[in-house]
Structure 1
Amino acid sequence: MHVLLLKEPRDEESGPDPYVKELASYGHKATLIPVLSFKFVSLNTLSDKLFQADYYGGLIFTSPRAVEAVVKSLEADERKEEWDQSMRDKWNTKSIYVVGKATAALVKSLGLKTLGEDTGTAEILSRVIIEREDKKMSPLLFPCGSLKREVLPTALRDNGVPLETMTVYQTAEHPDLKKNLKNYFTEQGTPASIAFFSPSGVRFCLEVIQRLSGKQLMQIKFAAIGPTTRDAMAAEGLGVSCTAEKPTGEHLAAAIAKALQEPSTGHSA
């Protein structure tokens, strides 16, 4: 069966996309359509903060894009050598918190040791941080996107954990999104399942998908990568057939495969 994944393809250098690969193992043909575009901002300021490790108690990363901003900031100021020689080791004496394995892998490529990669959500990670950190500590530096949710910052502040947030990328709708969706539905027809990967993906895609699928909308099994995305789908009145137990290709593919074996119950639009 055809499955539409509303996410950008993985870098070709790092091999086949794990979501496509896992779904293929169940006999389903998955297609990726990128939903978001990103613009990095304040990289010089970020670079400066990364070289003030003594001021901070640690780092928090909740998205791969924030780690990419760090990589770019080091390149921009030609500070990679200095990072490798001394600054990386300074940060490794502190706590480096991450959500999810994809983000953790990127953080590890910077030579940093990670905590919390199995948490899966910012909400669960915030509980780990609160349990581990001293309220008298130096602030944690949290590079993030313009559309970040306030769950983690609010939880930390409510529990007295000092935090410094910094917007390092801005998120917008991918310029080719509507065209790519139209082409997909024209060429492939209505997919058996559609998976959303973020609340912003729901916001940018849902109306177009409703229009393109028409009466067949009721037959689509809608999947969510996690509880935050699931809640955003439900808030739009969309029936959610399944949610990945963890935000990985393996768990999402298993959830979709199971949902596709079940009879359609229909969705409210």
Structure 2
Amino acid sequence: MRVLLLKEPRDEESGPDPYLKELESHGHKAALIPVLSFKFVSLNTFSDKLFQPEKHSGLIFTSPRAVEAVKMCLDMGGRREEWNKSIKDKWNSKSIYVVGKATGALVQSLGLKPLGEDTGTADVLSRLIIEREDTNIPPLFFPCGSIKREVLPMALRENGVPLETLTVYQTAEHPDLEKNLKNYFTEQGTPASIAFFSPSGVKFCLEVVRRLSGEQLNEIKFAAIGATTQDAMTAEGLCVSCTAEKPTAEHLAAAIATALQ
């Protein structure tokens, strides 16, 4: 059966996208359509902060994009050697928090040691941070996107854990989204299942998906990568057929396979 994944493809360097691979292993034909486009901002400020680890008690990464921004800072200033020689070790003597395995793997590629890869959501990560951190510490540093949810900053604030945030990328709708969706529906027909990966994905895609699928909308099994995305889908009146137990390719593919049986 055909499954449409509304997400960004994995970086080509890191091999085939695991979501496509997992769904194929369940016998389904999956396709990806990127939903978001990203523009990096404030990289000079970010670079300055990255090279002053003594001012913070740790780092928080909740998205692969924020880690990409670090790589851009290192390449942009030609500062990779300095990073590898001394700066990364200074950060490694502190806490480096991440949400999810994909972000964790990218953080490791910077030579950093991530904590919290199994948390899966900002909500669960914030609980881990609150358990581990004191209130009388220099602030944790959180590079984030323009449409970050307030769950983590609010939880830390309420528990007195100091936090400093910096917006390092802005999120917008992918310029070719509507065209790519139309092409998919024209060439492949209405898919058996459509998976959403973020509330912004729901916001940007749903109206077009409704229009293109017409009367077949109710036959589509809609899948969510996690509870936050599921809530956004339900709020729009979608019937969610399945939600991944954890935000991984294995868990999502297993949930979709069960829903399509």
Q: Report the AA paired with residue 178 of structure 2.
A: K
1:22-75 CA distance string (max 9 Å, x none): 000110000000000000001111000011100100000000000000110111
- Residue in structure 1 matched with residue 128 of structure 2 by the alignment: 128
- Residue in structure 2 matched with residue 60 of structure 1 by the alignment: 60
Deviation at 1:10, TM superposition (A): 1.1
1:118 aligns with 2:118: yes
Deviation at 1:78, TM superposition (A): 1.2
TM-score normalised by L of structure 2: 0.99
Alignment of 1:27-106 (within 5 A): 27-106=27-106
Structure 1 unpaired stretches of 5+: 262-269
Q: Report the AA paired with residue 41 of structure 2.
A: V
1:249 aligns with 2:246: no
Deviation at 1:12, TM superposition (A): 1.9
Q: Report the AA paired with residue 207 of structure 1.
A: E
Distance 2:25 2:5 in 1: 16
- Counterpart of 1:241 in 2: which secondary structure? strand
- Residue in structure 2 matched with residue 2 of structure 1 by the alignment: 2
Deviation at 1:9, TM superposition (A): 1.2
Deviation at 1:258, TM superposition (A): 0.2
Q: Determine what percentage of the aligned residue pairs are the same residue.
A: 80
Alignment of 1:138-177 (within 5 A): 138-177=138-177
Distance 1:32 1:73 in 2: 29
Distance 1:3 1:157 in 2: 40
Deviation at 1:7, TM superposition (A): 0.6
1:125-159 CA distance string (max 9 Å, x none): 00000000000011000000001000000000000
Deviation at 1:255, TM superposition (A): 0.2
Distance 1:71 1:163 in 2: 22
Structure 2 unpaired stretches of 5+: none
Which range is displaced more, 207-216 or 11-20? 11-20
1:84-122 CA distance string (max 9 Å, x none): 000000000000000000000000000000100000000
Q: Report the AA paired with residue 197 of structure 1.
A: F
Quote the RMSD (CA, aligned, Å). Answer: 0.5
Distance 1:114 1:5 in 2: 28
- Counterpart of 2:125 in 1: which secondary structure? helix
- Counterpart of 2:34 in 1: which secondary structure? coil
Which range is displaced more, 39-48 or 71-80? 71-80
Q: Check the 8 A contact 1:195/1:224 in 2, yes or no.
A: yes
- Residue in structure 2 matched with residue 191 of structure 1 by the alignment: 191
Q: Check the 8 A contact 1:24/1:30 in 2, yes or no.
A: yes
Provide the aligned length of Structure 1 versus Structure 2: 261
- Residue in structure 2 matched with residue 260 of structure 1 by the alignment: 260
Q: Report the AA paired with residue 33 of structure 2.
A: I
Deviation at 1:11, TM superposition (A): 1.7
- Counterpart of 1:16 in 2: which secondary structure? coil
Distance 1:178 1:189 in 2: 15
Q: Check the 8 A contact 1:44/1:76 in 2, yes or no.
A: no
Deviation at 1:76, TM superposition (A): 1.1
Distance 1:233 1:139 in 2: 35
- Residue in structure 2 matched with residue 13 of structure 1 by the alignment: 13
Deviation at 1:77, TM superposition (A): 1.2
Distance 1:13 1:128 in 2: 31
